[in-house]
Amino acid sequence: MSGPKPKYDPGELEPARQAAWEARGAFATPAPAAEQRAVYIKPSSPFTSGNLHMGHVRDYAIGDAYARFRRARGDAVLFGFGFDAFGLPAEMAAIERGTRPAEWVERCGERMLAQMKRLGFSFDYERAFYSSDESQYRWSQWLFLTLHEAGMVYRDDATVDWCDTCQTTLAALQVEDGRCWRCHEKVRLIRRPTWFLRLSPYLEENDRNLAGLETRWDELSLKTQRYILGRSDGVELDLAGPDGGGLVVFTPHAGDVGEARFVLLSPRHPEVELWAQGPQVAERLDELRSGGWERSARDAAAVPVVDTGASVEVAGGGSLPVLVSPIVDARYGPTAALGIPSVDEADEAIAARAERLAAEPLGGGDAAGLAPRKARRYRAYDFSISRQRYWGTPIPVLHCEGCGVVPAPIEELPVVLPRDVEPSGEGNPLAERPDFLEASCPKCGGAARRETDTLDCHFDALWLWVPAAVPPADRDEQMFSHPDLRRWLPSERLVAGNDSGGFVFDQRVVTKALRDIGPFEFLAEGEPFAGCLFHEMVIADGRKMSKHLGNVVDPDALVAEHGADTVRLAVLYAAGPAKALNWTDGALRFASRFLRGLWDYTHESLAAAAEAPEDAEAAADTAFIRERLGKWCENGLERIAADLEELQMHKAVRNVTRLLERIKDYEKRVVKRQGRLGREDYEALLEALALLARTLSPFAPHIAEQLLVALGRDASVGFPAAEEDDSGLSMARNNLSEHQVSAIHRDS
Ligand SMILES: [Zn+2]
Ligand SMILES: [Zn+2]
């Protein structure tokens, strides 16, 4: 008789499997090999916040299942990431705790790495990095200078919040009800020089390429790209200004051009100064610019409108008043648009507030003489990349009395950020450090002052997908020139939250710039990601998880209570990626029941198999049922593989659970026919269970391996390889030697 059935104890079993993975270097990125397909799976780059949240667990559980699947299918897999470690949240957290951001970030990263390992994610941890490491931000500085030289980075004035008490600029997240987060005094808006990343040269290509990405980008990710582009198709026409100058105006309402009553100009329109003449108008325009208009730019009933007093002439008589309003930017980008109140709600709201309107519609309502031509506008626009903060990549430029703004020489990078700073939130710590501030001008050799603004972490993120593809030892010399880049890029799949759309859009722009500049010339399409899966967030009780609502689910507590496999399976099973995952105990209970049930059933079957008699006649009688089981296994495997191929993990998990139902159904049918299972029937059943464990391995890898060990299989063989697909049960049989079969019988 068999002894007591082994107990399912994930707290013991999972760390043991993880140690085995580490010992055999199971997730090390393989060296380049010509015969293998190279698949770089890019998970989202976590902020060093100190704690994984359920959104991370969802992200990495999907990516990990896919990585394990691709490895098993024979591909060379790179599954690596780096921490997004610079930025305001880390600086604020350090201020709150009275520590240095550098130390805070390191502590957070170590903790998060431990959490990831405990969840069993198969990252190549050797390739992990922090964007705040000198060896990393040196390349952020290189990228800044490279883009600056190519004209993709420029300096201009921007409006920022300023606290007089703290003597510092504030980010949106530091302003609550118009007051400073730190001292609670009122903040005001000031204009100051800011660095921008230029997007316009690549908007059209980003748009055009979307059609080609449709096969491997999911609908959610394409939707965010379209939204960020904000493309409008319509017509444009030439109108004449007062001094013989012209103005090209756009409208999406191609059929209603003749109904236009005014022209609306963006405050960013390159020729806006020509129209805003006269001291009063210029003053009002200035007011509008320093009024933080971006915040209300979408609401036509509240957005500022400035009448320039000027008009454009229309061929064939009549004229239209020229107004300036940032609502143009929010709709079509920095352009000029026709105001057509009769067909456009926003224009109607503007018209109601305008001081002047054309008495007559354009061309008396007849657009025939205006010769409109097809045109397109994009709302996406350049964004600011510099911040007046300590904890960020120092911007590698100098200010010289004589020469102005001078880029630091590339060979002198990095411009080192002092790490021994304990910011208070007051002033700019870099401006108070002579050892950082004082330098000599690379051009004239005179005294110069370093730029004290740092790069927003959004800039670091522009290339955060690159370093994992370069072996750590080669990153110093070859970050953007290593031969492996050609092998791994573009990344086969990005798996990220749907709030990453903006990052991805800008990464796509910068990849195209680097293709044209040279380093990425091998990426003909200029696309960093061949495939993309965006998932919605994890919520609780139908609401966003937040400390404030007290509904935050802590992954550590779940893992401690239920084990990593159960948590992973629950997260994957609960919802498809395109849906918000409303976390409930239901999914957890389901996953726990399934895994425990499978564990018990497998061990019971093993024990019973040892007692099963040989009976050739009975075996011949049930042969057709075994054959049917083989077919079910084959179909199940095919479906699960197809789901994994599409990263539809919720479907894949469902199909794994169905396979277990099929196996139990098989058992019932044999019992119904013969009263019990004979030795051959059990062999087929155990083979089916081994296949089931292998199909489970991408989702719940620890228990899957342990079950394979119990079944006498090689635990390191995960999901079936592609060539095993159509052989059904026979492949499971081949994997099980005669020796192992008899061992199972003897052991029990
Ligand atoms: Zn303040
Ligand atoms: Zn100089």
The pLDDT, as a whole number, for residue 389 is 86
| Region for residue 398 given its phi and psi (left: phi exceeds 0; alpha: psi -120 to 50; beta: otherwise) | beta
Cα 290 to middle of ligand 1, angstroms: 20
Report whether 363 contacts 316 (CB < 8 A). Answer: yes
The pLDDT, as a whole number, for residue 446 is 96
Please name which ligand lies nearest the alpha carbon of 178.
1
Distance CA 51, CA 111 (A): 7
Please name which ligand lies nearest the alpha carbon of 167.
1
Structure tokens at 722: 């592609």
pLDDT exceeds cutoff 60 at 748: no
Mean pLDDT of 248-264: 93
Cα 182 to middle of ligand 1, angstroms: 5
> Pick the residue with more confidence: 75 or 748?
75
Please say whether the dihedral angle defined by the alpha carbons of residues 610, 616, 622 and 625, taken in this order, is positive or negative. positive
Per-residue confidence band for 518, with pLDDT thresholds at 50, 70 and 90: very high
Structure tokens at 232: 């409008």
Mean pLDDT of 272-283: 84
The pLDDT, as a whole number, for residue 291 is 63
pLDDT exceeds cutoff 90 at 273: no
Cα 398 to middle of ligand 2, angstroms: 9
The pLDDT, as a whole number, for residue 178 is 82
319-350 pLDDT, tens digit each: 899 999 989 988 999 999 999 999 999 999 99
pLDDT exceeds cutoff 70 at 743: no
Cα 400 to middle of ligand 2, angstroms: 5
Structure tokens at 175: 């302003």
Cα 297 to middle of ligand 1, angstroms: 26
> Pick the residue with more confidence: 183 or 724?
183
Per-residue confidence band for 738, with pLDDT thresholds at 50, 70 and 90: very low
Cα 168 to middle of ligand 2, angstroms: 28
Please name which ligand lies nearest the alpha carbon of 165.
1
List phi, psi (to 5°) of 154.
Answer: -145, 170
Give SS3 for 598: helix
For 679, the enclosing helix (H) or strand (E) is helix 679-696
Percent share of the chain, pLDDT over 70:
93
The pLDDT, as a whole number, for residue 729 is 52
Cα 391 to middle of ligand 1, angstroms: 18
Mean pLDDT of 695-710: 98
The pLDDT, as a whole number, for residue 298 is 64
49-61 pLDDT, tens digit each: 889 999 999 999 9
The pLDDT, as a whole number, for residue 742 is 43
pLDDT exceeds cutoff 90 at 212: yes
Cα 159 to middle of ligand 1, angstroms: 17
Mean pLDDT of 114-134: 97
Per-residue confidence band for 62, with pLDDT thresholds at 50, 70 and 90: very high
Distance of CA 398 to the CA centre of its chain: 33
In terms of average pLDDT, the best of 41-45, 306-310, 419-423 is: 41-45
Report whether 670 contacts 689 (CB < 8 A). Answer: no
Cα 151 to middle of ligand 2, angstroms: 21
Range scoring the smallest mean pLDDT among 297-301, 462-466, 554-558, 732-736: 732-736
Q: Which residue from 455, 463, 703 is spatially nearest to 563, judged by alpha carbons?
A: 703
Q: CB neighbours of 358 closer than 8 A, spacing ≥ 6?
A: 260, 261, 262, 318, 319, 320, 321
454-510 pLDDT, tens digit each: 999 899 999 999 999 999 999 999 999 999 999 999 999 999 999 899 999 999 999
Report whether 85 contacts 669 (CB < 8 A). Answer: no
Mean pLDDT of 622-639: 97
Composition of the chain by helix, strand, coil, percent to 5: 50, 15, 35
| CB half-sphere exposure, 479, CA atoms < 13 A | 18
DSSP symbols for 244-266 = S-EEEEEES-GGGGGG--EEEE-
293-315 pLDDT, tens digit each: 555 556 777 888 999 988 888 76
Mean pLDDT across the chain = 91
Structure tokens at 413: 């990078």
Per-residue confidence band for 86, with pLDDT thresholds at 50, 70 and 90: very high
The pLDDT, as a whole number, for residue 744 is 41
Please name which ligand lies nearest the alpha carbon of 397.
2
Range scoring the smallest mean pLDDT among 74-88, 102-116, 352-366: 352-366
Q: Which residue from 474, 430, 360, 454 is spatially nearest to 171, judged by alpha carbons?
A: 454
Cα 321 to middle of ligand 2, angstroms: 47
Please name which ligand lies nearest the alpha carbon of 176.
1
Which residues make beta-bridge pairs with 319? 313
CA dihedral defined by 313, 318, 321, 327, rounded to 10 degrees? -90
Cα 406 to middle of ligand 2, angstroms: 7
Cα 345 to middle of ligand 2, angstroms: 54
The pLDDT, as a whole number, for residue 8 is 97
Q: Model-level pTM greater than 0.85?
A: yes
Please name which ligand lies nearest the alpha carbon of 404.
2
Distance of CA 61 to the CA centre of its chain: 14
pLDDT exceeds cutoff 50 at 190: yes
Mean pLDDT of 186-203: 90
